Amino acid sequence: MAAARSQTDVNRTAILAHLGAHGSASRADLARALEVSPALVTQLTRDLLADGLIEEQEAASSGGRPARLLGLVSHDLAAIGVKVAPDHVAFVEVGIDGVVRRADVQPFDAVSPLAASHLIDTVRRFIEQSGSARVLGIGVGLPGTVAQQGIGVVDSTQLGWVQVPLGEQLRRALHLPVVVENNVNALSAAEQLFGQGRRFRNVLVVTVGNGVGAGLIADGVIVRGRSGGAGDFGHVPVREDGPLCQCGNRGCLEAIIGQGALVNDARSIRLIDPDEGVDELRSLADAGNAEAREIFAHAGHQLGRAMAGAVNLLDPEVVVLLGEGVQAWSHWQDAFDAALRSALVPGKRGVTVEVERWDDDRWAQGAAALVLATPFDAQGVAGDQGRLVRERLVAAMEHRP
Ligand SMILES: [Zn+2]
């Protein structure tokens, strides 16, 4: 009985979250999206209508009979997304419709002995400004490995963290559910909820920027590997005698095409000054400088070859490419396309590559999606924290003013 009851709660919450995340939907849409029977959707939505949590809306359909849509009554629920980087922290408040309502960036020093307490203080300040919105939970995305989202112990060479129990520290201080995840996996969760993952079950998400990373949605599930470390695409070995990588090895993809590597290449030929960076390099390429363009084209070529390897291995329906690096994509593109297509096996040459426009909120938005995704967390990846988010969602909907 208890099991049946909790399954009903999960399905009720899933309906609420789906309507919140995707907007109004018909009963048939809900049954398809949540993979439950139409009869069950009818029963669950009858309860939700009776409780006043959702409402019937009329929408004209293209042919004849109007489709009856269901929509949320209350919209004041939000998730907090936090992106932790070595030198700054970015925050967003995201409604359950997926729309960013507020954003902020604060300086941060990940290697300071006071890093944890500083992070807690800045997260608390951001939440205190949430006004009327009820916060369902906090999602944290960072460059590193997190063995279990719902526990949140972090290993990160970029942050200089070894076994930092960040999830527990935040939970204890803030008394909210906290889910911690590798930031590319967090972006994959956002793709699943709001992006390409809604249309496809096999999606390869690749990020290029300071680091190079990948997230893999396989058969509708984000692949985390044995210890949460799947998707270290940046450390695919490319050149045996290549430059030293942050991981300690030589010639990793990231050490060749990461933004730091491109800047080093440009400085070594005195194309940019020692105090200039990737923005100046991009400006030169935009202005037609051949050496600057060659640096980006070389990166595009290397990425294309490496990505062909990943596509040949994983067979995704679509590759989503995003990250700070795509701001210079026009200079990567031709060499990337040629290298990718020539290294794919014939059966996979039709794979679609979607390059998404990048803005700086995206990492934090991905982190917030970790919280918003928990109602669909059929594998229990978020553990106890997912259950706590679901409880807060149901409680908030039932006790709204
Ligand atoms: Zn490496």
pLDDT at 96 over 90: no
pLDDT given at position 2: 36
CA distances from 212 to 85, 301, 322, 331 (A): 14, 15, 10, 17
Q: Which two tokens stand for residue 150?
A: 């719902």
Span from the CA of 269 to the centroid of ligand 1 (angstroms)? 24
378 compared with 335, residue with greater pLDDT: 335
Q: What is the dihedral of CA 104, 110, 116, 118, to 10 degrees?
A: -50
User: Which residues make beta-bridge pairs with 92?
Assistant: 81, 103
The residues, ordered by sequence, that sit 6+ positions from 320 with a Cβ below 8 Å of its Cβ are: 191, 195, 196, 203, 204, 205, 206, 354, 356
Interstrand relation of 178-182 and 134-142 (parallel, antiparallel or unpaired): parallel
Lowest mean pLDDT among 299-303, 309-313, 360-364: 360-364
Q: Which domains does the chain have, with CATH numbers?
A: 2-72 (1.10.10.10), 77-188+360-398 (3.30.420.40), 201-316+324-355 (3.30.420.40)
* DSSP H or E stretch at residue 218: strand 212-218
Span from the CA of 273 to the centroid of ligand 1 (angstroms)? 26
pLDDT given at position 375: 64
User: Which residues make beta-bridge pairs with 352?
Assistant: 318
pLDDT mean over 271-286: 97
Give percent of the chain with pLDDT exceeding 70: 92
Work out the mean pLDDT of the chain and round it to a whole number: 89
Q: What is the pTM of this model?
A: 0.84
Span from the CA of 201 to the centroid of ligand 1 (angstroms)? 29
pLDDT at 130 over 90: no
Summarised one tens digit per residue, pLDDT across range 168-186 is: 999 999 999 999 999 999 9
Confidence of residue 50 (pLDDT cuts 50, 70, 90): confident
Span from the CA of 242 to the centroid of ligand 1 (angstroms)? 11
pLDDT given at position 1: 33
Give percent of the chain with pLDDT exceeding 90: 63
pLDDT given at position 3: 38
Summarised one tens digit per residue, pLDDT across range 28-48 is: 999 988 888 999 999 989 988
Half-sphere exposure of 201 (CA within 13 A, CB side): 3
Half-sphere exposure of 150 (CA within 13 A, CB side): 14
pLDDT at 66 over 70: no
* 81 contacts 367 by C-beta, under 8 angstroms: yes
Span from the CA of 236 to the centroid of ligand 1 (angstroms)? 7
Lowest mean pLDDT among 24-28, 47-51, 280-284: 47-51
Span from the CA of 262 to the centroid of ligand 1 (angstroms)? 15
* 216 contacts 188 by C-beta, under 8 angstroms: yes
Interstrand relation of 154-156 and 178-182 (parallel, antiparallel or unpaired): unpaired
Query: At CA 383, angle to CA 371 and CA 85, rounded to 5?
Result: 50
